[in-house]
Structure 1
Amino acid sequence: MKKRLLTKLLILMFIVGLVLTGCNFNSSEESTDTPEATKEDSAKDAGVEQVLNMSESAEIPTMDSVHAHDGVSFTALNNVKEGLYRLGLEHNAVLAIAKDHQASEDGLVHTFTLRDAKWSNGDPVTAHDFVYAWQRIFKDTGHYASMFETAKILNATEIINGDKQAEELGVKALDDKTLEVTLSGPNPLLPQNLTFPSFLPQNQEFVESQGDQYALEASNMLYNGPFVLSEWKHDQSWQYKKNPDYWDAETVKLEEINTFVVKEASTELNLYETHELDRVDLTAATVDEYQDDETFSFVDDAEIRFLRFNHTLEALGNENIRRAIDMGWDKKAHAEVILNNGSKPLYALVPKGFSTSPDGKGFRDLNGPFNQGTFEEAQAFLDKGLEEIGKETATISIMSSDDESMMKTAEYLKNQLETNLSGLKVEIKVVPFQQRLELEKAIDYGISISSWGPDYNDPMTYLGMWVTDGSANRMGYSNPEYDALIEKINEEQNPTDRYAMMLEAEKILFEDAAIGPAYQVTNAVLQRLYVKDLAYHPSGAEFSFKWAYIKK
């Protein structure tokens, strides 16, 4: 989930491209998306060791695509597995395991012809592998069953609601090489949706042979992507190696990628300085020092950080107390001084620059900011909320994962709230990243400093999170009016009317003070100049290594 923003032109080109190609999705998407310059440069530097060294702040929570719901897992899965489509070097959806995609005139029935591709044990990748994996997401209550609703796969909603069985999902293997996908309504974003890791295939015989050990170790998985996971030292590191059996192995130049789990920013920077890492994100303390470095750059992102409120608790179930907390801290100073990495204060849900309306106006320009006010106004909301719950004071817990930026945000937030709001006490609870995800899922926290990167390039990737009992809700928020509006948005075919509804949905969310936005991520990055074509995606998986190479 940490993703660079797509340009408006790219989005328009993508949508216009779908219109121009009509029901034939094959066209230029057959390309492996490898620039000619990349091929030439790679050939010139054939003698250079093709090894890339990266870092992550946390362990991989899961390598089972059915249960993955975080950026670390998505990046790993994106590089060792492949679905019908993948995100290309320029972040467009390019054909992957599918070599051809045809759609019926009404846009409801999509037929995919699979290319000759193999799993790492030599088995062919078949249409049955997609049927099995997609149905398994519903049978195993995977985190991203909602993505099948978003993609408008037939009966996804009914299966989630318990009205139909997983076997009734609109996906069918016509034969080993032909997959038929039926939608509940036309969806021009389907290729983009299908790049998401939840739509990856799985080999049924292998998964079932592993039982509850499946995907727990590098050896408990099968791979069909550009790389294989050759080594996985839990909580320490993992290693990718080029997959010689990948159908497009000729395009892949890197022989090895080493990823190290580094939680301390100072340690990460030291590893970069000693040339043991090729890319690092800087923290507030080091940005100024490195701004003149030739390897430094600011990389805009569509990821947001925000406060999840546990609506099931007495104090945080109160709208006025939530509003007071959201209003009671200086977000601008936090972004500019505490983070000091180009990140921007956030006063809404959908980030700036992410989406434009059909007539070319920015989502943020149309909806503006929400819940801005003085600390005195925040105090008034808190006093009213405390009176409503019959308390003079309230103590809340703020949960943070154990990476440096999150912990600094928690400390700053505690100081600000206790300084600016009389009657509020704050406790901080720091947990490992994976534990934070599990506690959020169980709604076992007070406030969680959370993050969200877009799964696809549409405001609904943010707005669709908050439906009652939705898999991404994780805070007990429920508003029937909001649920009904989201359902209408999912059914609306008129782009202008749909956009107006999305604007209204965001307004409802902040009328309820449902969440507390914090900041829109910008990454201050040091990356070796010899690292070429490392794709940093705006949605879905963070990185693709397929086109990357080393040129010295």
Structure 2
Amino acid sequence: MKKNIFVAMSSILVLGAALAGCGGNQAQSDNPNQGGSQAAESAAKTGPQVLKWNLHSEPPTADPGLSEDTTSAAIIRATFDGLTRIGADGQPHESVAEKIDVSEDGLTYTFHLRDSKWSNGDPVTAHDFEFAWKRALDPKTGAAYAYQLYYIKNGEAYNKNKAKAEDVGVKALDDKTLEVKLENPTPFFKELTAFPTYYPVNRKLVESNPNWAMEASTHVGNGPFKMAEWEHKNKLVLVKNENYWDKDVVKVDRIEFSMVEDENTELSMFDNGELDWAGAPMSALPTDAIPALKESGKMHTQPIAGVYWYKFNTEKPPFNNVKIRKAFAYAIDRQSLIDNVLQAGQLPAMGAVPPSMALNKDGYFKDNDVETAKKLLAEGMKELGITKLPPITLSYNTSEGHQKIAQAIQDQWKKNLGVDVKLENKEWKVYIEDLHQGKFQIGRQGWLGDFNDPINFLELFKEKMGGNNDTRWEHPKFKELLDQSALEKDPEKRKQILADAEKIFMDEMPVIPIYFYTNSWVQKENLKGIVIGGLGDIDWKWASIE
């Protein structure tokens, strides 16, 4: 889901993510799917458990329907709960739903809700889920992740003004029963219902206050924690939600988040005891510190289903020319970048789909193919009728890691293609808005899987004006293949259809795949139960401090 804010690690935003198919991983954890008596005894002896963390940047929103980045998603996952929740085993487990019935044809899901409450004491009902999903699909909402709800009957049609809200296949049969009808059998649907876009929102609150999600005083969730303070761009504090249905397994009483953008400062704060964790997935470790941290054995590293890539604005010259796009892609030495800059076991990305769900394990082009890159650049410039490239700008959001990657690739493009590239960095919220508005030529982004299936990476580029397709690239055959894959029930045939789609995507090169993520971090030894999923997401629900 997620847009990655960071680098060399992390977040699916900072570098990584995957779903149940990949298998979840857990950092220094006891069984987080169960309550722990040891943690409870520890809490009794030591008093309130306070967890100290750094977010690296301000969350753009705490609204599940509008979330589109990993920082926001992490805060939302802490303050909300879905029908299902991903456990330490990487699998979806019943959460707000205590029972799930699935029809034989796989097209109808009936969720039976347990007794649960919002953080303000209101009951959570099936009507809240129906309202939340239709709100995210409403074209007036402008939710970037609306397409994640297209699996629901008429979800896409409603989002594109071709159907009415009442036509959407989600209906509260009563306060405790939610019926969902799908367009096609969706084997990963229980994983999707653990995703923030599928979380409920409190209808009365949302309709009475459009800005409810931007201040601690008005924020209401149904998750393990609730928001106590939000001092914008400085501090955010979550406290245990006593109204949470599963509150007995929540051992941490308070999570205090700072918002320090400099990775070196963050690591210093960790070393000084001011933080319990530094690095991915909410931030990144300083690249210069990684060799020593690896040597000391303090650094934890985990592969995740995420890709770091550069997006082209394909509507503006010179990157409206496919040969020039390929030239820039082929002229990057990814292995050198990993060995000398990233240094955390990342893999060169020669395709769009991560190894955990790879469609073509050999990739679609060679790394550092300078000869071919020069040839393509010359041919592309001839096709555009130019003898000199216009000024080229590479944009990235503020981060030491992103900056070092950009500088290294800037040098490679100068050396291999003779091209001068200007670097431009912006604060995350401004940066992502500019990407969406097409105010860029080449822009970095990370994508972490929302679930472990290739469609989650390919469908980003299905529609020219899709919520996350900042490239504005579109291809009729590519769209046709993705639609065909949704109808194919044979797993191997479906995989071949998606492989054909990825081949078209890489032949057109609207993005430059650079590397596949790993998450890297350091943590206090007495911190247990943090769940880092195979998709790179984080869950503090089962955390404890011993």
Highest relative contact order (Cα 8 Å, sep 6+), 1 or 2? 2
CA change 1:35–1:123 in 2 (3 A) is: closer
Q: CA deviation at 1:493?
A: 1.4
Partner of 1:18: none
Name structure 2 gaps, 5 residues minimum: 3-11, 25-30, 280-284
1:91, 1:538 within 8 Å by CA — same for their partners in 2? yes
Structure 1 stretch displaced more, 181-190 or 314-323: 181-190
Which one of 394, 415, 420 corresponds to residue 416 of structure 2?
A: 420
1:4, 1:538 within 8 Å by CA — same for their partners in 2? yes
Question: Is residue 382 from structure 1 mapped to residue 377 from structure 2 by the alignment?
Answer: yes
Offset from partner CA, 1:338-383 (integer Å, 9 cap, x none): 112222221111112x12xxxxxx5343x53435453122111111
Partner of 1:439: 434
- Residue identity opposite 1:105 in structure 2: E
Question: Is residue 40 from structure 1 mapped to residue 38 from structure 2 by the alignment?
Answer: yes
- Equivalenced residue count is 517
Q: CA deviation at 1:40?
A: 3.2
1:172, 1:179 within 8 Å by CA — same for their partners in 2? yes
Distance, in Å, in 1 between the alignment partners of 2:256 and 2:159 is 38
Partner of 2:9: none
Distance, in Å, in 1 between the alignment partners of 2:394 and 2:456 is 25
TM-score, length of structure 2 as denominator length: 0.91
SS of structure 1 residue aligned to 2:132: helix
CA change 1:9–1:85 in 2 (3 A) is: closer
Structure 1 stretch displaced more, 87-96 or 123-132: 87-96
Distance, in Å, in 2 between the alignment partners of 1:255 and 1:241 is 6
Offset from partner CA, 1:219-275 (integer Å, 9 cap, x none): 222111000011111111211110011111001000011121121111011101101
Name structure 1 gaps, 5 residues minimum: 12-31, 356-361
Structure 1 stretch displaced more, 191-200 or 516-525: 516-525
Partner of 1:24: none
Please list, as runs of the form range in 1=range in 2, the aligned pairs for 1:219-258 lying within 5 A after superposition.
Answer: 219-258=217-256
2:116, 2:245 within 8 Å by CA — same for their partners in 1? yes
Partner of 1:323: 326
1:226, 1:246 within 8 Å by CA — same for their partners in 2? yes
1:309, 1:316 within 8 Å by CA — same for their partners in 2? yes
CA change 1:258–1:364 in 2 (3 A) is: farther
Question: Is residue 309 from structure 1 mapped to residue 312 from structure 2 by the alignment?
Answer: yes
Distance, in Å, in 2 between the alignment partners of 1:408 and 1:119 is 44
Q: CA deviation at 1:283?
A: 2.5
SS of structure 1 residue aligned to 2:222: coil
Please list, as runs of the form range in 1=range in 2, the aligned pairs for 1:104-503 lying within 5 A after superposition.
Answer: 104-139=103-138, 140-149=141-150, 152-211=151-210, 213-281=211-279, 282-352=285-355, 354-355=356-357, 363-365=359-361, 367-372=362-367, 374-394=369-389, 395-422=391-418, 424-468=419-463, 469-503=465-499
Distance, in Å, in 1 between the alignment partners of 2:244 and 2:318 is 54
CA change 1:363–1:99 in 2 (3 A) is: same
Identity of aligned residues (%): 30
Q: CA deviation at 1:91?
A: 2.1
TM-score, length of structure 1 as denominator length: 0.90
Distance, in Å, in 2 between the alignment partners of 1:382 and 1:119 is 57
1:326, 1:371 within 8 Å by CA — same for their partners in 2? no
Distance, in Å, in 2 between the alignment partners of 1:307 and 1:188 is 31
2:117, 2:123 within 8 Å by CA — same for their partners in 1? yes
Partner of 1:506: 502
Partner of 2:89: 90
CA change 1:144–1:9 in 2 (3 A) is: closer
CA change 1:39–1:393 in 2 (3 A) is: farther
SS of structure 1 residue aligned to 2:296: coil
Distance, in Å, in 2 between the alignment partners of 1:127 and 1:458 is 28
